[in-house]
Structure 1
């Protein structure tokens, strides 16, 4: 299962045997279970949700968390799994992130022991699907403008508001909703999706991430028991800690999309002939392939460095922003250049490149736009917030 790209610069030289095993098993799962149906799912604007229980059986949901039946794998192992999933499609890797890094991560970090015992084991097995309800229609990259409210009435919390671009909400059994309490403090709540007043609708008009599921949510006097609140959550720093887990996975995942595009371009350069010779024999094509490969490997080594820092407990917000900003930006450039090498056929579904190009535009936007991460890095460099 070694690819052409692997042979030139093999990541297995830098990871443990266990981490490499996770990667190879993820590659086999992605290539045999996701890849055969992903083009059709993209055309049908459908997340292949029937595969989510298999991801749970595989053990990838919340795989870097300890206890509660979870695998306790390294952050590097998780990154490698994310990369292999996104090598097939960004949308399916997003589902891995929403479930494992955001929904499960919020409960793991801020939930009570009872909440963890109740929800994390079935979520890890893929028997219960969760979502993470932070973004709102008017807020986008500024969650401090949050309008969703949670007020206390006796032994209940009552939630009202709207959320948008929320992954998995229409197929989920529960979600973590972020709302401002009566003191204006952001708190997290576990909301079963069968609660009266909860409504989720899929966003249907996407031209990107079509094989994924993003939703709008309306909360109308949603009544929850007092113990629905995540007791450890207080303030925007709580959801941001979850978002940083997802951003870390993106730094790895997009390198999978870049690799997939590179493999298609290399193969095409060897097989397509123009002016009496394969296009790969032309200096300009080889220069493009070489430049793309260099950026791919730099991005992969950056992700690996971030993973080692994370496993050592030393990864900072600014460093995560470096990974998300650089790797998404370079993956988009790689996909675009590969599309040009493929010529007119590059816009067809015969190759995965145009699908990756479209998906990566969404990845560029969610979990912090380029501009947001530039400002995070700028704040780290100057000590001055320019938000």
Structure 2
């Protein structure tokens, strides 16, 4: 069990009352990080100072034990400030939440992560996507390979070689959970837990994206990186993972949807401010006084409020153990992210050139919210699954 080694670390409870202040702190630098495509280290530090990076660490490990409903609250607030900070926070929170449900990491490695998390931001992300493989949820085995080796002291270890892409927050990660195959016959697949101060890791600055530019989702190359034998999780034959993790999938779907709803809410707030301040000379009154704009803002409000209620209700139900709610989470992601995208697109269409100029933030919110489409599960997979279920096939 992991509790014996991990309970020495006691982590603070999340400061939920500080969420608005954290949102404002992140928003202060979000535009410059987007412009320069630089990672928001100070924003991650603010999230850590408020106890948000470790909110989902289980009580048995000395953590607050936050559930999915609280996590969606955190991620919406962070997404409203800087979605890049929110995304790397989400990956770390999901890792701790998975460990809260069942032990995956070797005890000593997880205890080390918790101990470090008490004093500084210790970001974690799973590195799975590869240049040739694409998204692993579509099937296939990784090309990244681990070879068994023996050290001079006789202690066995693995040597990891490969290439991962779209590695969110790579420049700031403390641990990389690298999905790789062994060179054995028969082959095994598992997660190799790599500290980022290990020799042989190269972070190649390839991220040149339209949205979420500050996330620095760069390429990571591994050149015979040494991984101790006790830092491997879930090593087994292909397909031996026991099937789809419905609860983990619900965390991913609802948590990321909340993040992008936060982006859309920030866009809405900017829009309403603009409509109050903009007074065309021919009108002699703010645009906010016109029924056409009032109806459009009302449509955005109804759309976002409905999506938020859906995410919150399902997250609470998942926390209560409702398997049916967990199964509905992918559909909620589709509805929620479409609501976020449609709302920001409508805001841009409503005010024309003012919405697309880089002097205003609305174009940044549009670029960021469009990134919601690429996260697993993607819309086509959600619709195919739902359609087959409805057809009984």
| TM-score bin, normalised by smaller chain | 0.7 to 0.9
- Give 3-state SS (helix, strand or coil) of 2:241's partner: coil
The CA distance in 1 between the partners of 2:131 and 2:246, in whole Å, is: 18
- Aligned-pair CA distance for 1:365: 0.7
1:160-239 counterparts in 2 under 5 A? Answer: 160-181=161-182, 182=184, 183-231=186-234, 235=241, 237=243
Partner of 1:373: 382
The one of 249, 258, 261 equivalent to 1:252 is 258
Partner of 1:357: 366
Asked if 1:132 corresponds to 2:126, the answer is: yes
- Aligned-pair CA distance for 1:241: 6.2
Asked if 1:111 corresponds to 2:105, the answer is: yes
Asked if 1:318 corresponds to 2:327, the answer is: yes
Scaled by the length of structure 1, the TM-score of the pair is 0.85
Cα contact 2:205–2:219 (8 A) shared by 1: yes
- Structure 1 residues 309 and 186, CA gap change in structure 2 (3 angstroms): farther
- Aligned-pair CA distance for 1:22: 5.2
For residues 168-225 of structure 1, what are the alpha-carbon distances to aligned partners after superposition, in whole Å with 9 as ceiling and x for unaligned? 2222232111112334443111111232332222333222111222111112222322
Scaled by the length of structure 2, the TM-score of the pair is 0.83
Aligned residues: 363
Cα contact 1:132–1:177 (8 A) shared by 2: yes
Cα contact 2:130–2:164 (8 A) shared by 1: yes
Cα contact 1:82–1:249 (8 A) shared by 2: yes
Asked if 1:149 corresponds to 2:141, the answer is: no
- Aligned-pair CA distance for 1:105: 4.4
- Aligned-pair CA distance for 1:328: 0.9
For residues 329-359 of structure 1, what are the alpha-carbon distances to aligned partners after superposition, in whole Å with 9 as ceiling and x for unaligned? 1101100111122332212344332111101
* Higher mean C-alpha deviation, range 58-67 or range 150-159: 150-159
For residues 36-87 of structure 1, what are the alpha-carbon distances to aligned partners after superposition, in whole Å with 9 as ceiling and x for unaligned? 1111111111121133233222111131231334222232222111111111
The CA distance in 2 between the partners of 1:203 and 1:239, in whole Å, is: 31
Cα contact 1:157–1:226 (8 A) shared by 2: yes
